[in-house]
Chains A and B, each alone.
Chain A
Amino acid sequence: SQQGEEDPQALSIQEGENATMNCSYKTSINNLQWYRQNSGRGLVHLILIRSNEREKHSGRLRVTLDTSKKSSSLLITASRAADTASYFCATDRNSGNTPLVFGKGTRLSVIA
Chain B
Amino acid sequence: GAGVSQSPRYKVAKRGQDVALRCDPISGHVSLFWYQQALGQGPEFLTYFQNEAQLDKSGLPSDRFFAERPEGSVSTLKIQRTQQEDSAVYLCASSPTGGELKLFFGSGTQLSVL
Contacts and interface: CB of A to CB of B under 8 A. Distances in A.
A59 interface: no
B4 interface: yes
A85 interface: no
Interface residues of A, number: 26
Interface string B92-109: 010000001111111110
B28 interface: no
Contacts of A50: 100
Nearest to B38: A104
Interface of A: 2, 4, 30-31, 33, 35, 40-45, 48, 50, 88, 90, 92, 97-105
B1 to A, nearest CB: 14
Contacts of A42: 4, 91, 93, 105-108
B26 to A, nearest CB: 12
Q: Which of B35, B45, B103 has the most CB of A within 10 A?
A: B103
A44 B103 CA distance: 8
A99 B45 contact: yes
29 contacts: A2-B42, A30-B100, A35-B103, A40-B107, A42-B4, A42-B91, A42-B93, A42-B105, A42-B107, A42-B108, A43-B43, A43-B105, A44-B105, A45-B103, A45-B104, A48-B102, A92-B101, A98-B56, A99-B33, A99-B45, A99-B56, A100-B101, A101-B45, A102-B42, A102-B43, A103-B42, A104-B40, A104-B42, A105-B41
A76 B45 CA distance: 27
Nearest to A4: B42
Contact of B100 (A2, A48, A103, A104): A48
A88 B93 CA distance: 15
Contact of B48 (A31, A41, A99, A103): A99
A31 B44 CA distance: 18
